[in-house]
Amino acid sequence: MKLRSRYVSFVLLIAVLINSCVSLEVNPVSGNKRAFGYSWEEEEKIGAQSDKEITAQYGVYENEELSNYVSALGQEMLEVSHLRREDTPKKFRETEFTFRVLDSPVVNAFALPGGYVYVTRGLLAHLNNEAQLAVVIGHEIGHVAARHASQRAVEQQVGQLAVIGGAVLGESLGYDGQSILQLSSQTAQLMFLKYGRDDERESDALGVEYAAMQNYEAAEGADFFTSLERISEQQGGGIPTLLSSHPDPGEREQTIPQLAEKWREKGYEQTIEDKDEYLNMIEGIMYGQNPREGFERDGTFYHPELAFQFPVPAGFQVINQPSAVILVNEAQDVITQFAIDSENSSPESSVQQFLAQEGITVMEEGSSDINNLNAYQAVASASGQNGNELQLLISAISYDGNIYRFLSYTTASQFEEYNDAFLEIAGGFDSLHDESILNVQPVRLQIRAANRTAAFSSFIPNNLPMNITAEDIAIINQVHMDDTIEEGTRIKIPVQ
């Protein structure tokens, strides 16, 4: 939850209708005409509008040198793409592209129609050389060039989105997470678009093609997809993620080198790896969650910048988003949403505004005192999207010039079982005075040269910060714990 957090409107039922007209236009990759959900001009406008939302939501990573490096590489890949070839229609050749590094720890890259490509700092931390980044950026340019989003829009005329993850808020209780992420339905549709496997395979091939044409060792891209598989096995995915229907990572490990070899046979030497330049560029990059924006430790959520804390009951997972903090139980049917309410000036008005929504039935409400802070609480009921009756505890608290609001809810049949946990969360909200937490700093990657030839495990520090594991460090270095590291090899070590 970032300092720039905004008021989050908790809407119980959101049906996202995606209306588009079918347009018969050229596919820049194939050169053939086919049906698209948008004209190219519409794609450019949609991309520009959504880019503003995404950068406001996640923030651009503040490292000008790194941003310029990624942008320059993106432009290099773009120059050999289908969008810049002599036989491509002028409107495609003249479309400007924007490449951004987002301030997110999630390992992700995605593209918007009309020329907007994003990589996260989390992804950059997991790459080992410039050749791998070239393949990833080429892959995303491929999605734009082949107009995959516009193709899918034809098939997805009407739909519903659970932006924070269907299992967390969509399927279980009927809540839509779009309001939490502060994204319009159109941006949410694009960011969480599920490409088909054929789309992904085509973009894989285009990413290899573009990288090979610029003489990068395109086969290096396979190692990154191996890392993705290891991350998935270890963490079970992240929120938010691309949510695409990707081919199996094992398949990509084999096909990417095969695709690269075909381009080598066509005369593209593919000699550029640029590991040292890449590692120099990412040295000092922030790794993992930024603790300045909130983190959970030993059953407590701390926010150093805003100087508050509140308890996290046993069995609850914390999902810290830029505009809200989500606590969810293992079964994903009990949820607390916490955010700043910037529209109201008192706890009572904050709660009353929520209760005024259609479909809310108030059961009880009143003023309260939470750790000597002015507060207001209410219990209410509402109908869930799947027909279940929901029961809610809404708590708003005034602290240090802000109004903070907790919305805790589950099915009416489970409310009594979890009411104590809900009261514990809101009732434990308090000011933060621990100097060691107030002054905590982010973890950053340090690049070190191995001082001997030994197993990778021997280079891992004994005390790792912020719940980082030895396996995490092996994954970001694209090695295994028992791999032999030659003296002089440069490795990434997270340091706080």
pLDDT in tens, 16-41: 223 445 778 889 999 998 888 889 99
Q: Is residue 40 part of a domain?
A: yes
Distance CA 385, CA 122 (A): 34
CATH number, residue 307: 3.40.1000.10
Q: Is residue 125 part of a domain?
A: yes
Render pLDDT for 427-473 as a digit per residue (tens, 0 to 9).
999 999 999 999 999 999 999 999 999 999 999 999 998 889 999 99
Quick one: pLDDT at residue 9?
Answer: 32
Q: Is residue 8 part of a domain?
A: no
- 156 lies in the same domain as 297: no
Which residue, of 238, 260, 286, is where some domain finishes?
A: 286
Kindly give the residue spans of alpha helices, DSSP state H, lying in 37-192. 40-58, 64-79, 90-93, 121-126, 130-145, 148-155, 178-181, 185-191
Which residue, of 401, 421, 437, is where some domain finishes?
A: 437
Kindly give the residue spans of alpha helices, DSSP state H, lying in 392-454. 415-427, 435-438
User: 91 — phi, psi (to 5°)?
Assistant: -65, -30
Distance CA 247, CA 267 (A): 28
Starting at the edge strand that comes first in sequence, how are the strands of the sheet with 490-495 ordered?
286-287, 443-449, 490-495
Q: Is residue 263 part of a domain?
A: yes
Distance CA 335, CA 317 (A): 10
Quick one: pLDDT at residue 173?
Answer: 36
- 302 lies in the same domain as 378: yes
User: Mean of the pLDDT values across residues 247-256?
Assistant: 76
Render pLDDT for 156-195 as a digit per residue (tens, 0 to 9).
543 332 222 222 222 333 333 444 445 665 666 666 566 7
- 206 lies in the same domain as 98: yes
Conformation bin of residue 158: beta by default, left when phi > 0, alpha when psi is -120 to 50: beta
Q: Is residue 85 part of a domain?
A: yes
- Given a contact cutoff of 8 angstroms between Cβ atoms, the answer to whether 12 and 343 are in contact is no
Quick one: pLDDT at residue 98?
Answer: 98
Quick one: pLDDT at residue 170?
Answer: 29
User: Mean of the pLDDT values across residues 199-225?
Assistant: 95
- 188 lies in the same domain as 153: yes
User: Mean of the pLDDT values across residues 118-134?
Assistant: 97
- 92 lies in the same domain as 164: yes
Domain hosting 372: range is: 291-437
User: 389 — phi, psi (to 5°)?
Assistant: -80, 130
The more confidently predicted of residues 9 and 80 is 80
Quick one: pLDDT at residue 490?
Answer: 98
- 417 lies in the same domain as 274: no
- Given a contact cutoff of 8 angstroms between Cβ atoms, the answer to whether 462 and 344 are in contact is no
Quick one: pLDDT at residue 386?
Answer: 65
- Given a contact cutoff of 8 angstroms between Cβ atoms, the answer to whether 326 and 457 are in contact is no
Q: Please classify residue 468 by burial: count the beta carbons closer than 10 Å to its beta carbon, then call 0-12 exposed, 13-18 middle and 19+ buried.
A: middle
381-397 b/e (C-beta count within 10 Å ≥ 16 → b): bbebbeebebbbbbbbb
The more confidently predicted of residues 330 and 495 is 495
Q: Is residue 331 part of a domain?
A: yes
Q: Is residue 73 part of a domain?
A: yes
Q: Is residue 379 part of a domain?
A: yes
Q: Give the length of the chain.
A: 496
The band of 12, judged by pLDDT with boundaries at 50, 70 and 90, is very low
* Pairing relationship of beta strands 98-102 and 116-120 according to DSSP bridges: parallel
Distance CA 207, CA 97 (A): 16
The set of residues, in sequence order, having a beta carbon less than 8 Å from that of 248 and lying 6+ positions away, is none
Q: Is residue 374 predicted with pLDDT exceeding 70?
A: yes
User: Of the candidates 61, 141, 66, which has an alpha carbon nearest to the alpha carbon of residue 104?
Assistant: 61
- 380 lies in the same domain as 462: no
- 267 lies in the same domain as 305: no
Which residue, of 411, 437, 463, is where some domain finishes?
A: 437
- 310 lies in the same domain as 249: no
- 278 lies in the same domain as 342: no
User: Of the candidates 482, 486, 477, which has an alpha carbon nearest to the alpha carbon of residue 230?
Assistant: 477
- 251 lies in the same domain as 154: yes
User: Mean of the pLDDT values across residues 214-233?
Assistant: 90
| Extended beta strands in 181-290, E state | 286-287
- 447 lies in the same domain as 426: no
Give how many domains the chain has, as a whole number: 3
Conformation bin of residue 26: beta by default, left when phi > 0, alpha when psi is -120 to 50: beta
Quick one: pLDDT at residue 193?
Answer: 61
User: 239 — phi, psi (to 5°)?
Assistant: -125, 125
